[in-house]
Structure 1
Amino acid sequence: MTAVEADAGRLKGEADEPGWEVDPDDEWGVAVIATVGRQLKLRREAVGMRAAEFGTAVGYGEDMVYKIEGGKRIPRQDYLVRADEVLGAGGLIAATWEDVKRVRYPKRVRELAKLEGLAVEIGVYECNSVHGLLQTPEHARALFEAAQPPYSPDDVERMVAARMARQAVFERDPAPSVHYVLEEAVLRRRVGGTMVWRQQLEHLLEVGRLRSVTLQIMPTNTDAHPGVDGKIELLKFPDGSAVGRSDGAFSGRPTTDPKQLRILELRYGTIRAQALPPRESLVFIEQVLGET
């Protein structure tokens, strides 16, 4: 059921209306959304419908219609499908979703998802929070809602959706080899409350049992290790190239320099060696889950 059907024709207020603001620094995104908006406006005017009338027909406010047609707002799929029906476009407007969906998330997130989608091996050490590829929607939402200054509800939903879309990496065939090391403290932080926290732990157990995933826990009572300076990420690609980043090295910027990558690999390898083995790590998560 679409949002329009669920609301039974009730016009949504500005705060409720689906669609996301366009990032003015995202040139490709701006161009795509401006083109789609222009097509919508031309077709609406061609059938002689005013913006207010069209908005009522598709179940959205007049202001949202103007924003989408002006390339200021990214429409969601249900808007395009309903617009196609109202304007009798024969599927041409609905088909623009194939272009819109490629730019619906922030440019930085799209670039990260592209790298993760190409990688044959992903290695991550995380000390402050559950890594994005391992988060449940509720956990991700709680983290975004805790940000200061606060994000708008619309931005929160956009970022949650973007984060969940990245998790398609686990569905690839063949799947990449993915390695995670999480600090024990990450498991014990009750982000979003007890229920959300328990669901997150259960999700970690589920992902940790995938054949393509190796999940390890670093106990709090361990000795110092190379990850105390912060997060480490390593992505390796089919052609033998790689990219890495560490909060505690190279100013936190991504690097493809072979010498710097060897340093990150050495640090990450040492961290994995000090962490609990995968099977013991899953048992450890179960124990934390059982403490509630």
Structure 2
Amino acid sequence: MTAVEAESGRVEGEADEPGWEVDPDDEWGVAVITTVGRQIKLRREAAGLRVPDFGRAVGYGEDMIYKIESGKRIPRQEFLDRADEVLEAGGLLSAAWEDVKKVRYPKKVRALGKLEARAVEIGLYECHIVPGLLQTPEHARAVIGAAQPPYSPDDVERMVAARLARQSVFDRDPAPALSFVMEEGVLRRPVGGRAAWRGQLRRLLDVAQLHHVVLQVMPTDCETHSGLDGRIELLKFDDGTAMGRSDGAFNGRPTSDPRQLRILELRYGTIRAQALPPRESLAFVRQLLGEA
């Protein structure tokens, strides 16, 4: 499954992180994690286990146990499974993962992931970065880690894992039609170092071989460019509805208005026509990889 496993599984780069902080603005997430933490605490106390003893039994420090029980930390699946075993919960704590996994990523990312999971067509023009759906873990970590002011290490890993989890869209059946247009300058920038850069270029070539994916490059020497206003995203659904968003239109807000969507579709279609054809785009990426 490329760089990411199924939504219910572990994501590369996540293994060293015992959990993530709960976003206080995510009301549903807070409710879920608080309820799970309370259940763990009640069962621990009923079993007569002090926090230090329970922590040693499950392999976590006292501070982490307190955070999970108070609903301030999102537990990993391994923690829930181990807690279920130690507290003899009969599978009830392990089963809580079904709810926890739905709120482990930021609220905005979950909303976007739901839309992408429904879409039958996804079109994306990116002018500053490689699209998140195409990023390798190393590239995503470098991009997110370069933000100023910087994110905490925990937040970086959470955002990387969330970005990679969205890539499950490539494994859907039936597969959605996916098209991407990226700037030449973006592909030339060795974000994360040369090794990470080479890995990202190889990832682009691999994805472009999929029958439902079209990848194009906008050359720097293009004299007419209709994407100078910024990023464009278009999603179409099987019920005939659609959603679009552009940095340079309608205040950057998502829109489903048919008239506004026509404008975005016109811009995106023009950008695709101005970009290199798919075959030439792949040849360009291969050339870059040879130079990397």
1:69 match: 69
Q: 1:224 deviation in Å?
A: 2.5
Tell me the CA shift for residue 57 of structure 1: 1.1
Moved more, 195-204 or 28-37: 28-37
1:160-171 correspondence to structure 2 within 5 Å: 160-171=160-171
Residue 33 (1) aligns with residue 33 (2): yes
Separation in 1, partners of 2:47, 2:80: 16
Task: Say which SS state the counterpart of residue 49 (structure 1) adopts.
Answer: coil
1:159 aligns with 2:139: no
- Secondary structure of 1:236 counterpart: strand
Rounded to whole Å, the distance in 1 between the matches of 2:174 and 2:263 is 28
Alignment partner of 1:79 is 2:85: no
Give 2:88's aligned amino acid. G
Identity of aligned residues (%): 74
Q: Which residue of 2 aligns with 1:214?
A: 214
Letter in 1 for 2:89: A
The answer on whether the counterparts of 2:224 and 2:274 sit within 8 Å (CA) in structure 1 is no
Size of the alignment, in residue pairs?
277
Q: State how far apart, in whole Å, the 2-side matches of 1:192 and 1:168 are.
A: 24
Paired position in structure 2 for 1:205: 205
Asked whether the equivalents of residues 17 and 64 of structure 1 are also in contact (C-alpha less than 8 Å), the reply is: no
User: Match of 2:203, as an amino acid?
Assistant: H
**Residue identity in the other structure for 1:62:** E
Match of 2:268 in 1: 268
2:168, 2:31 → 1: CA distance?
26
- CA distance in structure 2 between the partners assigned to 1:58 and 1:291 by the alignment: 49
1:188 equivalent to 2:188? Answer yes
Q: Which runs of 5+ in 2 are unaligned?
A: 1-15
**DSSP 3-state at the match of 1:182:** strand
Aligned-partner Cα distance in 1 for 2:80–2:160: 21
Contact 1:17 1:60 in 2 (8 A): no
Paired position in structure 2 for 1:107: 107
User: Could you tell me how far 1:63 is from its partner in structure 2?
Assistant: 1.2
Q: CA deviation at 1:17?
A: 5.7
Q: Is the 8 A contact 1:191 1:197 kept in 2?
A: yes
Q: 1:118 deviation in Å? A: 0.3
Gaps of 5+ in 1: 1-15
Q: Note if contact 1:139-1:192 (Cα within 8 Å) is conserved in structure 2.
A: yes
* Deviation (angstroms), 1:29: 0.6
1:231-259 Cα distance to aligned partner (Å, 9 max, x none): 00000011111111111111111111111
Detail structure 1 runs of 4+ shifted over 6 Å in the superposition.
Answer: none
Indicate the SS of the match to 2:243. Answer: strand
Give the equivalent residue in structure 1 for 2:58: 58
Q: Is the 8 A contact 1:244 1:261 kept in 2?
A: yes
Letter in 1 for 2:171: E
- SS class of match (1:93): helix
Deviation at 1:108, TM superposition (A): 0.2
Distance 1:123 1:144 in 2: 23
* Aligned amino acid, residue 208 of structure 1: A
- 1:40-59: CA deviations, max 9, x gaps? 00110111001111111111
SS in 1 for 2:227: coil
Provide closer, same or farther for how the CA distance between residues 178 and 51 of structure 1 changes in structure 2, counting only shifts above 3 A: same
Q: CA deviation at 1:122?
A: 0.3
TM-score, length basis structure 2: 0.93
TM-score, length-scaled by structure 1: 0.93
Report what 1:18 is aligned to. 18
User: In the TM superposition, what whole-angstrom CA distance separates every residue of 1:156-185 from its partner, at most 9, and x where no partner exists?
Assistant: 111111011000000000010001011101
What is the identity, as a one-letter code, of the residue corresponding to 2:56?
T
Distance (Å, rounded) in 2 between the aligned partners of 1:86 and 1:151: 35
**Partner in structure 2 of residue 10 of structure 1:** none
Residues 222-233 of structure 1 mapped to structure 2, 5 A cutoff: 222-233=222-233
Describe the SS at the equivalent of 1:120.
strand
Greater RCO (CA < 8 Å, at least 6 residues apart)? 2
The residue number in structure 1 matching 2:91 is 91
